[in-house]
């Protein structure tokens, strides 16, 4: 049974736009000492824009974008929206398969195309360009056709306006912060520094994010905050899994303990403070 004080605390928590799935989860809120954030779509706007395209010698920017967009038209990943917006007239794709945390592959106009992270597809002759875009804080997407790297797409995803303030509010409560991301380490470090986040774990696959959470939670009670694209295993592993945004995927809301209907990250430190007050009332 859920104690009456917890029920009333949950009642007032709904003011924050919180859907709490269990009273136990809300009690845990007041104990959290580390918050791990997914990067893309959680700390960032999740509305990335294509800002650069680089092609291999003889390649065309238009082909690179159109072939990538053909595959991404089937994906819900935030990067997919950026790439499809940059090439509205892409051809149709078939046999498309997305590989979570890596990228997407399929047939486009007779070619076997792969689109994904520089770890999944080595940038070959475009290595220097890939490094340059990452140092600028862009997410680098490599485009390959029939086994040849044909281009790079540089995507910029700005931090949410309240991200830095949220991190400061958490630090003021003595709570440590970590960024978990499947993205390149340089891109991740550039954004983490901007948001004053303590620690960065980059180039993680969805299963690695869950493993990182296991390690963090063994040391101190840890909340994982995600938008749900690829981070369901980590949300399920954390002391408390928090899904942000009403548009979060059903899988994320399913694996989270708490879902915020809004996407203002400051709700998190506000709810922690609120939960601690609830705990004081109970004890």
Query: 133, 121, 164, 139: which is closest to 78 by C-alpha?
Result: 139
By annotation, the residues acting in catalysis are: 38
Residues in 132-171 that interact with ligand ADP by CB under 6 A: 139, 141
Question: Quick check: 98 binds Mg ion (CB under 5 A)?
Answer: no
Q: Which helix (H) or strand (E) holds 31?
A: none
Question: Quick check: 181 binds ligand ADP (CB under 6 A)?
Answer: yes
d(CA 250, CA 42): 16
d(CA 221, CA 269): 15
By beta-carbon proximity to Mg ion, the closer residue of 87 and 234 is: 234
Question: Quick check: 201 binds ligand ADP (CB under 6 A)?
Answer: no
Candidates 35-43, 103-111, 201-209, 257-265 — which segment interacts with Mg ion by CB under 5 A?
Answer: 35-43
Question: Quick check: 114 binds ligand ADP (CB under 6 A)?
Answer: no
CA 88 to chain CA centroid, nearest Å: 25
* Planar angle of CA 198, 38, 28, nearest 5 degrees: 80
Question: Quick check: 38 binds ligand ADP (CB under 6 A)?
Answer: yes
Q: How far is the CB of 242 from ligand ADP (least distance, A)?
A: 15
Strand partners, 37: 179, 225
Question: Quick check: 240 binds ligand ADP (CB under 6 A)?
Answer: no
Helices 163-172 and 185-195: crossing angle, nearest 10°? 70
- Would you tell me which residues interact with Mg ion (CB under 5 A)? 38, 40-41, 229
- Would you tell me which residues interact with ligand ADP (CB under 6 A)? 38-40, 72, 75, 77, 79-80, 98, 101-104, 115-117, 139, 141, 181-183, 229-230
């Amino acid at each position: 049974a859920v104690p009456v004080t917890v029920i009333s605390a949950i009642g007032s928590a709904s003011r924050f736009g919180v859907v709490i799935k269990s009273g136990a989860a809300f009690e845990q809120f007041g104990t959290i000492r580390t918050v791990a954030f997914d990067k893309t779509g959680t700390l960032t706007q999740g509305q990335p824009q294509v800002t650069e395209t680089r092609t291999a010698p003889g390649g065309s920017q238009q082909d690179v974008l159109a072939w990538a967009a053909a595959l991404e038209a089937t994906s819900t990943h935030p990067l997919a929206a950026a790439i499809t917006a940059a090439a509205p007239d892409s051809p149709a794709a078939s046999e498309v398969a997305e590989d979570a945390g890596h990228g997407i592959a399929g047939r486009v106009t007779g070619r076997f195309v792969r689109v994904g992270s520089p770890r999944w597809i080595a940038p070959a002759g475009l290595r220097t360009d890939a490094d340059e875009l990452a140092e600028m804080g862009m997410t680098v997407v490599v485009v390959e056709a029939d086994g040849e790297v044909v281009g790079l797409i540089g995507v910029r995803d700005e931090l949410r306006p309240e991200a830095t303030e949220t991190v400061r509010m958490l630090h003021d409560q003595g709570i440590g912060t970590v960024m978990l991301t499947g993205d390149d380490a340089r891109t991740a470090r550039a954004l983490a520094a901007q948001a004053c986040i303590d620690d960065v774990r980059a180039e993680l696959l969805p299963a690695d994010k869950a493993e990182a959470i296991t390690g963090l939670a063994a040391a101190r009670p840890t909340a994982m905050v995600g938008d749900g694209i690829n981070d369901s295993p980590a949300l399920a592993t954390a002391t408390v899994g928090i899904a942000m945004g009403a548009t979060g995927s059903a899988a994320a809301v399913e694996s989270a303990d708490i879902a915020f209907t809004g996407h203002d990250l400051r709700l998190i430190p506000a709810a922690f403070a609120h939960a601690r007050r609830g705990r004081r009332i109970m004890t």
